[in-house]
A and B are shown apart, each in its own frame.
Chain A
């Protein structure tokens, strides 16, 4: 058997299949981005039809993130400093007077819902009581800690990725893991 020739044939075959799969993957990515952008525009139009003004750009990208394990430091006399983990701000619900310090991340990254899906979820949560005059000025991804108790007994907890909507009527957060 001519191994040299066999190798050449195999290289050509694998090269062709890789080029095919690569182009397929890139075209899927591009299609998905287009879809997300179109979805974002549709959701913004829908929100405006509901009386909500969206002055922020909805990020049109798909992301995967792990959970974030944090520990809580109590006894802050002033406002607790905010931390970031890999560029993502770590925030907690109001009433928790503690510094949220990132410790480590989960082993597996989970798929997140898009910002437009999160906005739809937010609109859905309003039901028939959509706040009139609501203006969304910023949409960003954060690590969100919603503690079960705020009595200072929790020492370690888990923050999850969430979409944060900054509005003229306060901030809203929508947990971002795909169900």
Chain B
């Protein structure tokens, strides 16, 4: 009897399980039949949903450098991690904005004199930030009269200890915020490994030109050539698929995939509303139609950061992590349907990696969505350093290559004497930085001087030999 009862109970349990599964099946059929063609079980279950870690805007909009001047024309530069200096400046701005203050427009000469002829410090970005958006992002009280101002730098000078200078070098516009109550002193350089060990002077001092670009006089470096491989080369198909899945999301299963005889793979949704192209050299390009509203500089920047996190990621891979920082930001279009074009530069140990083919990560965010995304990133195989060695002096490198720079800047169309060429080049210098040159034919990073000119071109020279490596226009 007990045996029969046990068999009966087991049978009941089995029937229960079957009925339970059938119930779920019927619920699924009825639910999916009720017009929700996009219904997917994975969509409502927690597993399988990829979550991507995107950095916040604050970690990618770090200033290029903090320059601390002694008033004698010499500067110490922090070109590495400038986050602490930015945080200190933000705190100063917060205090400043909360106190009674006046806003004055000043001339470029006045501002530059205050920052180069007196003990001073300034943070510098290579692109211009909307000042109001910057204040809003960091919780700084809005300052009347500064609504449409953009900035490429923030300066403090002992020449005006009641003031903060807001610099917009791109538009040659300068503002002085004067407090009625507060007195400030310039930021002091914080000794750290990433601080440049050289002394910088303005190009005006060193080359006798009108440029105020900072050039190092004597500099040592531990930089050594190192090998890399492009992201796609390290695992073409899986990387490509991950990129495409991130870009197309739920519609990925209905995306058209085309491969041609050149090795280019194209993913296309609909009639080209979204396309992702992966080329054999390891670069990707995504284009999409957009409709929506711009979320402002920081909103659009976060959209870009999230998109990259979903499509390829931000994490530096390989032996030495590569980090990314915003290197260029341009406003595109106007109003709510406009947006921003963002370009991110790669850095290894605080030194930027330069390439003739442009930036490794570029996006255009328009009307609140990403409409263009190009990616051509690398992974380091091994990071190498050597004992500190003297580098070619930047001023000498520029002087000895002035003819070459002049020719490239003028498309070989103009001839000039050596003096004319030098004078032209010296006046056009925007910056000279140590970094790595991405030598694509050899898949190696070569220590270099990157000399940026006012027409947007950048020239690369071997850091130790001073010989030309290439240029980008």
Contacts and interface: CB of A to CB of B under 8 A. Distances in A.
Contact of A4 (B12, B15, B20, B260): B12
Interface string A7-34: 1101100110110011011001000000
Contacts of A10: 16
B262 interface: yes
Contacts of B44: none
B19 A154 contact: no
A67 B258 CA distance: 13
A111 interface: yes
Contacts of A14: 16, 19-20, 22-23
A48 B256 CA distance: 35
B37 A4 contact: no
A156 B23 contact: no
Interface stretch (A52-60, A102-110, A121-129, A164-172): A102-110
Given A14-B19, A157-B256, A25 B30 contact: yes
A155 B261 contact: yes
Contacts of A160: 254, 256
B12 A7 contact: yes
Contacts of B183: none
A69 B19 contact: no
Given A7-B9, A8-B12, A21-B26, A67 B260 contact: no
A10 B20 CA distance: 10
Nearest 10 Cβ contacts at the A-B interface: A108-B253, A21-B26, A14-B19, A156-B259, A158-B256, A111-B37, A7-B12, A153-B260, A106-B253, A153-B261
B27 interface: yes
B287 to A, nearest CB: 15
17 contacts: A4-B12, A7-B12, A7-B13, A11-B19, A14-B22, A15-B19, A25-B33, A28-B30, A67-B254, A106-B254, A108-B254, A154-B258, A154-B259, A157-B256, A157-B257, A157-B259, A158-B257
Interface of B: 9, 12-13, 15-16, 19-20, 22-23, 26-27, 29-30, 33, 37, 40, 253-262
A178 interface: yes
Contacts of B33: 25, 28
A67 B256 contact: yes
A1 interface: no
A25 B29 contact: yes
Given A25-B30, A156-B259, 15 more contacts: A3-B9, A4-B9, A11-B16, A11-B19, A14-B20, A14-B23, A15-B19, A17-B23, A24-B30, A28-B30, A67-B256, A148-B258, A154-B259, A157-B256, A158-B256
Instruction: Report whether over half of chain B's contact residues are helix, strand or loop; otherwise say mixed.
Output: helix
Nearest to A155: B259
A163 interface: no
A173 to B, nearest CB: 15
A156 B256 CA distance: 10
Contacts of A107: 253
**Chain A contact residues: over half helix, strand or loop, or mixed?**
mixed
A21 B30 contact: yes
B15 A11 contact: yes
Nearest to A74: B261
Contacts of B9: 3-4, 7
A110 B447 CA distance: 53
Contact of A22 (B12, B26, B253, B262): B26
B259 A18 contact: no
Nearest to B22: A18
B259 A11 contact: no
B45 to A, nearest CB: 15
Interface string A134-171: 00000000000000100011111110100000000000
Given A14-B20, A17-B23, A18-B22, A153 B262 contact: yes
Nearest to B8: A4
Nearest to A178: B37
Contacts of A66: 253
A14 B27 CA distance: 12
B266 to A, nearest CB: 8
Contacts of A110: 37, 253-254
B375 to A, nearest CB: 22
A111 B35 CA distance: 10
B16 A7 contact: yes
Nearest to A28: B33
Contact of B260 (A22, A25, A111, A155): A155
Contacts of A152: 261
A66 B256 CA distance: 11
Contacts of B254: 67, 106, 108, 110, 160, 177
B258 A157 contact: yes
Nearest to A177: B254
Nearest to A3: B9
Contact of A158 (B16, B22, B30, B258): B258
A90 B412 CA distance: 56
Nearest to B33: A28
A17 B257 CA distance: 44
Contacts of A157: 256-259
A156 B258 contact: yes
A22 B30 CA distance: 9
Nearest to B264: A153
B459 to A, nearest CB: 37
A72 B10 CA distance: 56
A21 B12 contact: no
Contacts of B23: 14, 17-18, 21
Nearest to A32: B33
A31 B460 CA distance: 73
Contacts of A21: 23, 26-27, 30
A4 B16 CA distance: 12
Contacts of B20: 14
B257 A25 contact: no
